[in-house]
Amino acid sequence: MRQHKSRQIHVQIHLIDIRNMLQSMGKEIESFPLPDIQEEYDTSIGVTREIFEESTIELNVEDTYLSDSLNSDQRAAYDEIMSAIDRDEGGVFFVDGPGGTGKTFLYRALLAMVRGQKKIAIATATSGVAASIMPGGRTAHSRFKIPLGIDDGGFCSFTKQSGTAKLLQSASLIIWDEASMTKRQAVKALDNSMRDVMSRPDLPFGGKTVVFGGDFRQVLPVVRKGSRAQIINSSLRRSYLWDSMRHLKLVRNMRAHSDPWFAEYLLRIGDSKEETNRDGEVRLPDEICVSRTGKDTDLDTLIDNTFPSLDANTSDPDYITSRAILSTRNDCVDRINLKMISRFQGDEMVYHSFDCAVDDPHNYYPPEFLNTLTPNGLPPHVLKLKINCPVILLRNIDPANGLCNGTRLVVRGFQRNVIDAEIVLGQHAGKRIFLPRIPLCPSDDEMFPFQFKRKQFPIRLSFAMTVNKAQGQTIPNVGIYLPEPVFSHGQLYVALSRSTARKNVKILAVPDAGNKKRNSDDSKKKSSTNNEIVFNLSEIYF
């Protein structure tokens, strides 16, 4: 009898785990032929899934002491935000700080304090990478159900009776990091929805305490084929909410505190105050540049500088995740990753995708053609992996358990239809997970004249990544590959500011065709940051 009771408890525990995983993916256990969950074993009865998930986030003991280590700027911001929470009067804040000034450190201190008081604090970020380094972090679009193609006057896609609405009503603090990367329309949609669910249409975000954070020196919102004016106009700085925000500034660079010259140089780059030549180029310090010979081996030199003694460190996750090569284009990133996986020790496993064009009965788009396509945000047709190689997740699989777009993992094993991987950064570091093949479609419906679908593991190699993907991370050792001019606001600044000191940065800048006529020693030390493209910061800043 005792053995039967024990087995029944284990069955119920596993059923509850299965239900929670299905719910995190938007599905219900009732849709599957499984035994019923008995109420006596279910601690979440009467509580919405969203509130249950947030209220059961494990509190990191170390984070509870972070408030004692805040610098003066962080302390002033912390006290003002906590005062608004304690008085339950609400308020909208924007924490402005250059990369490395400790915005994430501040968020973690706030989250630990609020959650330690048994209150609900919601942690979100525009990018999955930034979200993954906050305890309980989720992408803002995932948490708030923000439609991808949002327009002015839009709302989030949750209803007033939904679990998401109840979560927002219960929250004492909402954090949205990297808000400078998001379109103002997405923030407006959350504001519209919160005014509605809180039944307080006259107050921003329905009177809740909401903390935005970011750095307008960094990458701005992506506007497909947008002009300079359109990109600036899409930023949060142009929102009607901007004037109702209390602006809190962080100025002390904690990431590069050991190298004051580097911290000041980063600010000059970010503020567009670094001296330029007549072609709008800035000169990079000699000590951070890779000597350029004009040969294909230049890229190998950059790799050797960023990943020294690779063969001796392939099984060390700290080595693998503390360095990366950043570039501005996906094709450059793919080329570097292929070079790296060929250097990486171990047996290679190759996974091919299954590609199709939806509603193509006449086979106008054969698989052979579709296999050659690699749309932005999708894994490649040919995915080459080795044990211990680093990868990055491309979709929100199970955000509550750390599997969101941008999560960094290390491959631990292969099966025919499953990849065994380990989360290596953030709150869920050390957790082993299994990734299946899933059907994927490009987020941009206008990319092709047909609907493209690829069934593949939702990962890419991450020895190298785009500058945009790296925003929000600290990467102690950074290589930067610039085969052409930087084409987007803030990309050079973001790439440089990921690191902690100039001795940990190496740049390979290849001059464009116009520069090749100049003295090679002169041009090899110059960034391709063009002032006509890197917008005047005064147009978007405070």
pLDDT in tens, 234-263: 899 999 999 999 999 998 877 777 788 888
Q: What percent of the chain has pLDDT over 90?
A: 48
pLDDT for 535 beyond 60: no
pLDDT for 525 beyond 60: no
HSE (side-chain half, CA atoms, 13 Å) at 433: 22
pLDDT: which is higher, 88 or 8: 88
pLDDT band with cut points at 50, 70 and 90 for residue 3: low
pLDDT for 536 beyond 60: no
pLDDT for 54 beyond 50: yes
**459-461/390-393 β-pairing:** antiparallel
pLDDT, one tens digit per residue, over 125-154 is 998 878 888 998 888 998 999 987 777 778
* CB contact at 8 A, 236 and 498: no
What's the whole-number mean pLDDT along residues 9-27?
76
Candidate ranges 278-292, 307-321, 435-449; pick with highest mean pLDDT: 307-321
Q: What is the residue-averaged pLDDT of the chain?
A: 85
Q: Which structure tokens are listed for 504?
A: 């940990």
What's the whole-number mean pLDDT along residues 438-461?
88
3-class state of residue 119 by DSSP:
coil
Q: Would you state the pLDDT for residue 265?
A: 87
Q: Which structure tokens are listed for 512?
A: 């464009």
pLDDT: which is higher, 270 or 172: 172
Distances (CA, A) of 398 to 54, 127, 139, 406, 433: 14, 15, 12, 12, 10
Cα 453 → chain centroid: 24
3-class state of residue 144 by DSSP:
helix
Q: Would you state the pLDDT for residue 240?
A: 92
Per DSSP, what are the bridge partners of residue 175? 123, 211
HSE (side-chain half, CA atoms, 13 Å) at 354: 6
CA distance 126 to 124: 7
pLDDT for 162 beyond 70: yes
HSE (side-chain half, CA atoms, 13 Å) at 451: 7
pLDDT: which is higher, 264 or 487: 264
pLDDT, one tens digit per residue, over 71-101 is 999 999 999 999 999 999 899 999 998 888 8
Cα 250 → chain centroid: 21
Q: Would you state the pLDDT for residue 349?
A: 96
3-class state of residue 280 by DSSP:
coil
CA distance 530 to 485: 7
CA distance 407 to 402: 7
* CB contact at 8 A, 445 and 296: no
CA distance 217 to 210: 22
Shortest CA distance to 428 belongs to which of 131, 171, 144?
131
Quickly count: other Cβ atoms within 10 Å of residue 276's Cβ.
17
Whole-structure pTM value: 0.80
Helix (H) or strand (E) holding 331: helix 330-343
Q: Given the structure tokens 């991808």, which residue do they identify?
A: 148
What's the whole-number mean pLDDT along residues 281-300?
86
pLDDT, one tens digit per residue, over 492-505 is 888 998 888 889 99
What's the whole-number mean pLDDT along residues 46-56?
80
